[in-house]
Chains A and B, each alone.
Chain A
Amino acid sequence: MGIQIENISKFYGHFTALRDVSLDVQAGELVALLGPSGSGKTTLLRIIAGLESPDEGRVILSGEDAAYKNPRDRNVGFVFQHYALFRHMTVFENVAFGLKVRPRRDRLPKKEIFDRVFSLLKLVQLDFFAARYPAQLSGGQRQRVALARALAVEPKVLLLDEPFGALDAQVRKELRRWLKKLHEKIHVTSVFVTHDQEEALEVADRLVIMNNGAVEQIGTPEEIYHRPANPFVFRFLGDVNLFHCRTENGHYSFIGQGGDISDKDGSVRQVFIRPHLFDISLTPGNRESIQGSIQHINAAGPSVKVEIVSEWGGSVQVNIPQDRYQRLGLQKGMSVYLIPLQMSTFDETLPTEEQP
């Protein structure tokens, strides 16, 4: 039931879509492929489904090399971003399709097809819409039909290509929680592609972070969020501020801001600080801090987003709790000091996304 991906590469002319990607998906696991657009995650998913063929490497489904297997023989359920429903068929017909197109000798009797389709429609909470056409459903409902259709053939592996990408924010959140619950109920080995880190962190058992056709890091959501392997992963998982820091005898001091480090004497490091890992103070205090003035305040939301122009002229994003904001009485134009609560550094020898 598991998927082994071994050293897969895929080229389109001179463009490398995937470079030596290996990945092990355990049976019953829900894995997210996360990366920016063009990172090769959808190509990898399509290769698993057999909709594309790899130029190098192999895909092993349930211990069997799938190289010469057609998509229709792989027993893989695929859910497309834009649903790809059969629009001339009702919801019922869509879900029943995979069962009805089987060769006569392994086709289920009509009654069993009917029962199976209805139990799936109940599972996706659409049994009342069985007689409707896709055009009569909302986006979220259509995607649930697509999911039921994929599950109808009892796939060994379920693949979802940005399943919630075309839906609005509210429905997205609802559906991804529902997907998580559904997966806990039916435990089919699943791989889903997304560019939304929040979605991936919330739904997946494990994450695969991809960039430029290669895997940057594989791990549980917790591992990836708290111990990102490199600057790319760090930056991809959320907003981040970049600084330059000089370290001497365990002491550090901020000397600049931004991605590129001009001073290369070996003691300067790149420092990553998330917006919510700053405290704002009105006085310098005795800890290392960054001076700046408030340019913009957005107090709508669970935390207050403050944009600050640092002493080096760059912009710094800071999120502080509402009560802290009230107590400080922050105003636009005020001069403040930023105290980092937690910083991350990576050795400069590690690859960053700026390097080719």
Chain B
Amino acid sequence: MAGKRKKSVIPGFGLTMGITTGYLGLIVLFPLACLFFQTLDVSLDTVQKTVFSGRALAAFGLSFGASFAAACVNTVFGFLVAWVLVRYTFPGRFLVDAMVDLPFALPTAVAGISLTFLYAQNGWLGKFLYGLGIPSVYSRIGVFIALIFIGLPFVVRTVQPVLVNFDTQVEEAAASLGASRFKAFTRVIMPEVLPSAITGFALAFARALGEYGSVVFISGNMPHRTEIVPLLIMTRLEEYDYLGAQILAVVMLVLSFCFLFLINFLQYWGQRHHRMQECVA
């Protein structure tokens, strides 16, 4: 008895942990590490020239800027869509619910082509937007539009289950305590939903950063103006500048990781901060 190892109540820790790390290592870590190590022996000078060229900086700026803006828009409207789908019953609700996933399933090139047709100067929507002086294709706005399209499902699908599980009696309690609809929403519903909305934001943001297929059609790919980083990497590859492509890829990887880490940390910190505030009050 004395020599027996202590056993956890939940069996299989060793096995599942082993498979998890092995799998993650093989599928995610190994390819990324290879990419990373291949660029290690590159001189700093080359890195600087590749990354800090005006064209690359503009591409990074556009990629992160448009992704961030699109993720913000998706968070607001995705929340709204989730709210409507959960809170109200209306004919065709299941159809709308299924439609939300379309940007997931559609080949991104298809999305890019149809968006370009729609928003082009003589397209159905483009006609009006150009009339208002908004160039909706072959511009940064076009990139922004495409990224909104592909990021929508993430926020909807992360917020929806939280809203479904939200106990409506809690809202009724708030109402019976004299809270207005607005106060019940901001003080009772939002704190419950916010973490999932931030998760949805992070997913939409990450998806937008990596998006390539739909953007290349609508952006026009003008260097310094409407070129995104994934496209710049493709261009480098086509020019047989493998090293340049690799360096850009690694920088993209590190920056994306930093951003996602920051968002996760924000989410964690936000909840903690919230909790501490409650304690002090």
Task: Give residues in A with beta carbon < 8 Å to B.
Answer: 49-51, 70-78, 80, 82, 84-90, 92-93, 96-98, 101-102, 131, 133, 146, 149-150, 152-153
Q: Flag if A78 contacts B187 (CB, 8 Å).
A: no
Q: Flag if B172 contacts A90 (CB, 8 Å).
A: no
Q: How far is the CB of B269 from chain A (nearest CB, A)?
A: 15
Q: How far is the CB of B143 from chain A (nearest CB, A)?
A: 37
**A70 and B175 in contact, given A80-B169, A90-B278 (Cβ under 8 angstroms):** yes
Docked pose: A92 CA to B281 CA in angstroms: 8
Across the interface, A88 reaches (CB within 8 A) one of B169, B174, B278, namely B278
In the complex, the chain B residue whose C-beta lies closest to that of A93 is B278
Q: How far is the CB of B117 from chain A (nearest CB, A)?
A: 46
Q: Flag if B176 contacts A78 (CB, 8 Å).
A: yes
Docked pose: A7 CA to B198 CA in angstroms: 50
A and B contact pairs by CB, cutoff 8 A, 18 listed = A72-B177, A72-B180, A76-B176, A77-B176, A78-B173, A78-B176, A84-B170, A84-B172, A86-B170, A86-B173, A86-B174, A86-B188, A87-B192, A88-B278, A92-B281, A98-B177, A101-B187, A133-B275
Q: Flag if A97 contacts B174 (CB, 8 Å).
A: yes
Q: How far is the CB of A178 from chain B (nearest CB, A)?
A: 21
Docked pose: A98 CA to B274 CA in angstroms: 19
Docked pose: A85 CA to B169 CA in angstroms: 9
Q: How far is the CB of B186 from chain A (nearest CB, A)?
A: 10
Across the interface, A71 reaches (CB within 8 A) one of B176, B188, B275, B279, namely B176
| B192-222 to A contact mask, C-beta < 8 Å, 1/0 | 1000000000000000000000000000000
Across the interface, A101 reaches (CB within 8 A) one of B172, B183, B275, namely B183
Q: Flag if A149 contacts B169 (CB, 8 Å).
A: no
Across the interface, A97 reaches (CB within 8 A) one of B179, B274, B275, B279, namely B179
Q: Chain A interface mostly helix, strand, loop or mixed? A: loop
Q: Flag if B278 contacts A150 (CB, 8 Å).
A: no
How many residues of chain B are within 8 Å of chain A by beta carbon? 22
Chain B residues with Cβ under 8 A from A78's Cβ? 172-173, 176
Q: How far is the CB of A126 from chain B (nearest CB, A)?
A: 16
Q: How far is the CB of A145 from chain B (nearest CB, A)?
A: 11
Docked pose: A87 CA to B271 CA in angstroms: 12
Q: Flag if B175 contacts A90 (CB, 8 Å).
A: no
In the complex, the chain A residue whose C-beta lies closest to that of B187 is A101
B92 within 8 A of A: no
Docked pose: A87 CA to B173 CA in angstroms: 12
In the complex, the chain A residue whose C-beta lies closest to that of B192 is A88
In the complex, the chain B residue whose C-beta lies closest to that of A149 is B177
Chain B residues with Cβ under 8 A from A152's Cβ? 177
Docked pose: A24 CA to B73 CA in angstroms: 54
Q: How far is the CB of A118 from chain B (nearest CB, A)?
A: 13
Q: How far is the CB of B275 from chain A (nearest CB, A)?
A: 8
Chain B residues with Cβ under 8 A from A72's Cβ? 175-180
Docked pose: A84 CA to B173 CA in angstroms: 7
Chain A residues with Cβ under 8 A from B187's Cβ? 86, 97, 101
A-B pairs with beta carbons under 8 A, tally = 79
Residue from A76, A84, A146 whose CB has the most chain B CB atoms within 10 Å: A84
Q: How far is the CB of A116 from chain B (nearest CB, A)?
A: 13
B191 within 8 A of A: yes
Chain A residues with Cβ under 8 A from B177's Cβ? 72, 77, 97-98, 101, 149-150, 152-153
Chain A residues with Cβ under 8 A from B278's Cβ? 88-90, 93
Q: How far is the CB of B253 from chain A (nearest CB, A)?
A: 35
Docked pose: A161 CA to B279 CA in angstroms: 29
| B244-281 to A contact mask, C-beta < 8 Å, 1/0 | 00000000000000000000000000000011001101
B45 within 8 A of A: no
Chain B residues with Cβ under 8 A from A153's Cβ? 177-178
B167 within 8 A of A: yes
List of 3 A-B pairs having minimum Cβ-Cβ separation, nearest first: A98-B177, A84-B169, A101-B179
In the complex, the chain B residue whose C-beta lies closest to that of A75 is B178
Docked pose: A161 CA to B175 CA in angstroms: 16
Docked pose: A70 CA to B183 CA in angstroms: 15
Chain A residues with Cβ under 8 A from B281's Cβ? 92-93, 96
List 6 additional contacts besides A84-B169, A87-B192; criterion CB under 8 Å: A49-B176, A77-B176, A88-B275, A90-B278, A93-B278, A101-B187
Residue from B167, B169, B192 whose CB has the most chain A CB atoms within 10 Å: B169
Q: Flag if A150 contacts B180 (CB, 8 Å).
A: no
In the complex, the chain B residue whose C-beta lies closest to that of A70 is B175
Q: How far is the CB of B91 from chain A (nearest CB, A)?
A: 18
In the complex, the chain B residue whose C-beta lies closest to that of A81 is B169
Chain A residues with Cβ under 8 A from B174's Cβ? 86, 97, 101
Q: How far is the CB of B99 from chain A (nearest CB, A)?
A: 30
Q: How far is the CB of B281 from chain A (nearest CB, A)?
A: 6
Docked pose: A88 CA to B194 CA in angstroms: 12
In the complex, the chain A residue whose C-beta lies closest to that of B179 is A101
Q: How far is the CB of B162 from chain A (nearest CB, A)?
A: 13
In the complex, the chain B residue whose C-beta lies closest to that of A132 is B279
Docked pose: A179 CA to B274 CA in angstroms: 33
Q: How far is the CB of B88 from chain A (nearest CB, A)?
A: 18
In the complex, the chain B residue whose C-beta lies closest to that of A102 is B178
Q: How far is the CB of B191 from chain A (nearest CB, A)?
A: 4
Docked pose: A97 CA to B192 CA in angstroms: 16
| B94-149 interface with A by 8 A CB criterion | none
In the complex, the chain B residue whose C-beta lies closest to that of A106 is B178
Docked pose: A267 CA to B28 CA in angstroms: 88
Chain A residues with Cβ under 8 A from B175's Cβ? 51, 70-72
Chain B residues with Cβ under 8 A from A50's Cβ? 176
In the complex, the chain A residue whose C-beta lies closest to that of B195 is A88
Docked pose: A353 CA to B275 CA in angstroms: 53
